[in-house]
Structure 1
């Protein structure tokens, strides 16, 4: 197989993983608060509990750890410059560490 084919396969596998996680999240969100989740009561987040911009920022920032995440959520999507700088600094530290290891 060519390198392009392997990267396509990787992307499709990651997309399938994302679909499974979203389906699991959807099932969980459809539970009522009275339904136990592994013996623990499930408390649903409400609109007042979430800040959509913070959730989006966290999703993009954490996605940068993964090849598929970088493709799906480019770092340019980060609006918060402090978060963007920290993500870039983390990537630079990782790159420097790999260079020190000879890889």
Structure 2
């Protein structure tokens, strides 16, 4: 929490955050930091040759790959709705690159 404490205190002093908001934001900062550290640790242990993200994915490499649909899947609405997704297609279309690689999503 020390990493973001000064910035959050400045926001509170500036009237941007009330007492409860200050505590909530500070705790959320810490939760996010811990999730990021845990994710980086898992990524390091996995020893992937390279990391691929949807933001860096080259959708122009295949005109058959529906970029809008893939980005929609990346928004994870299907997960929060309790639905499943099955990816299928010929070899070389990028199925391997379309996998969840962020912090563990929380379904509520």
- The reply to whether TM is greater than 0.5 is no
Q: If the TM-score is normalised by the length of the shorter chain, which range does it land in?
A: 0.3 to 0.5
Structure-2-length-normalised TM-score = 0.33
Q: By percentage of residues, which structure has more helix?
A: 1
Structure-1-length-normalised TM-score = 0.34
